Every structure is written in structure tokens, then in C-alpha cells.
Amino acid sequence: MNLRWWAPTKETWVPILLDAHPQFWKKQVDPTYQRPWKDLSPRYAKDKSQKYPGEPILRATGLMQDAAYIFTRGDKFLVRSTEYGAFHQFGVAKLPARPWMGVPDVALKQLPSIAWKNILSLKR
């Protein structure tokens, strides 16, 4: 099976994936399943509200969102962000998992047309 279409497809899809995420960060929901994030521990919420009054957890400094970068290596999609991005994604003792990266439906729905365009361009 010839999979030459996959390389241009995944490279075209990466910016679409990244562009889809801010709306979920703003809503504070998991982009893949659209489940609300778990509440912060009372202590962490207090510390955060004192340090960044009125700011949502992912916009307090903006560093995690602004540094987020999706790239491909082989057939894998990888995310590079700040050193604490994984703590939010997977959780730690003081911070429950609050997934901020994933594959939202809005991006997934665009994949078939991108793939077909690349598949059909190989036949020319």
C-alpha cells in the first residue's frame, strides 16, 4: 500500500489541530471529550487566585498556550510546551488532570477532506 499521501496530510493537519484548541482552553474543557476540567484543589485554587486574580488557569501568564507546538515525528503527533504543560494534561498531586491538548471533533472533521486531496493529487 502506498502511503505517500500521509506525509502532506499530517503536515497540513497540524496547524488545524493547534488552531482548534484555544476555544476549549477558554471553556476549560477537555478538547477530545469536551468534559469540564476537574476543580483545582482548594489550596491550589487559593494560591492561583492570589497570584493571578481573575485569570483562568491557562491564561494566567499565557506561556503554556503560547508555547504549545504540535509536530510530527514518523506517524506520531507530539506536543511541545512549557515544562509544566504535562502536569496540567495528566495531573499531579496538587493539580488534577485538566487535559488541554487532544483531538477535537472540529479538527477531526477536517481530516478526510485533507487526506482525499492528497490522495487524489498522487494520481496525477
- Percentage, residues of the chain above pLDDT 90: 40
Predicted model pTM: 0.77
- Through-space distance between the first and last CA atoms of the chain, rounded to whole angstroms: 17
- Percentage, residues of the chain above pLDDT 70: 91
pLDDT in tens, 86-107: 998 999 988 889 999 999 999 9
C-alpha cell at 108: 477531526
